[in-house]
Amino acid sequence: MQKFNIPSKDEVSRVNQNLFDALKGKLGMVPNLYATMAYSDTGLENYLKLQQGKTSFSNKEKEAINLLVSQVNGCNYCLSAHTMLGKMNGFNDKEILELRRGYASFNDKLNSLVRLAKEIAETKGNPTESSLESFFNSGYSKGSLVDLVIAIADKVVMNYLHNITDVPIDFPMAPEL
């Protein structure tokens, strides 16, 4: 298999160099998986626009989706990053493990969100009518459903990229389920 080294700032395009500076300023580092996207002159910029787009979900809801989708796709990099971000957004260790398993016993609305996200991710977009009904009955809208599909797609991009490149994980490792 082709080895993917982490490109340094001086090995990437001028646009990506500026994005590296912005990421370093915001996060204190350029995560390895983001740096890997800079092999493409447009990939990192396009991905950041998607990731930073407006959504109807709170940061906590987004992290729940990120944890669940990363678990479904077996991406240890994203599980590690989003375990840390989940804690920063108020989830405890037990809740994070539940979310990764596809449920949230501690919050009914979040439970319907995570269950539907799991079904969408596992069935490639073919959830059951009862999962959709539970989602809508929990207070989510048709707009929320669109935002959910976009959030899943966002995470699939990174999950697949890491699963292909297997770049080193530069976050504390997420525990095994």
Over residues 121-137, mean pLDDT: 98
Q: Are residues 76 and 131 in the same domain?
A: yes
How far apart CA 154 and CA 117 sit, in angstroms, is 13
Write the pLDDT tens digit of every residue in 15-37.
999 999 999 999 999 999 999 99
CATH of the domain at 68: 1.20.1290.10
Residue 77 lies in a domain: yes
Residue 128: inside a domain = yes
For range 162-167, the mean pLDDT: 97
pTM: 0.96
Q: Residues 43, 90: one domain?
A: no
Do 35 and 69 have their domain in common? no
Asked whether the beta carbons of 122 and 74 are under 8 A apart, the reply is no
Two tokens, residue 113: 């969100």
Secondary structure of residue 173 in the 3-state scheme: coil
Two structure tokens written together for 168: 């080193």
pLDDT tens for residues 50-85?
A: 999 999 999 999 999 999 999 999 999 999 999 999
Contact 107, 99 (CB under 8 A): no
Number of domains in the chain: 2
Query: In the prediction, which pLDDT does 126 show?
Result: 98
If one compares 1 and 125, the residue with the highest pLDDT of the two is 125
pLDDT at residue 1 greater than cutoff 80 = no
Cα–Cα distance between 135 and 61 in angstroms, integer?
Answer: 13
Quick check: 6 pLDDT over 90?
A: yes
| Predicted pLDDT at 119 | 98
Name the percent of the chain lying above pLDDT 70. 99
Residue given tokens 């500026």 in the structure block: 18
66 and 144 both lie in a single domain: yes
Rounded CA separation 98/108 (Å): 13
174 in a structural domain: no
- Count of beta carbons in the 10 Å neighbourhood of residue 177: 8
Same domain, residue pair 77 and 153: yes
Residue 26 tokens read as: 């915001």
> 152 and 111 in one domain?
yes
The CA-to-CA distance between both ends of the chain, in Å, stands at: 28
In-domain check, residue 87 = yes
Does position 155 have pLDDT exceeding 70, yes or no? yes
- Indicate whether 18 and 44 sit together in one domain: yes
| CA–CA gap between residue 92 and residue 42 (Å, rounded) | 36
- Lookup: tokens for 35: 């740096």
User: In this structure, are 97 and 136 located in the same domain?
Assistant: yes
Average pLDDT over residues 108-133: 98
Is 124 among the domain residues?
yes
Judgement on whether residues 23 and 69 belong to the same structural domain of the protein: no
Print the domain residue range for 123: 59-165
**Rounded average pLDDT over 10-17:** 98
Q: What is the pLDDT of residue 2?
A: 75
Alpha carbon distance 75, 71 (integer Å): 6
In a domain, residue 146? The reply is yes
Asked whether residue 80 falls in the same domain as residue 148, the answer is yes
DSSP state letter for 93: H
Residues 46 and 65 in one domain: no
Same domain assignment for residues 42 and 80: no
Mean pLDDT of the chain: 97
Q: Taking Cα atoms as reference points, which of 128, 30, 125, 112 lies closest to residue 72? A: 125
- Domain presence at residue 2: no
Residue 19 included in any domain: yes
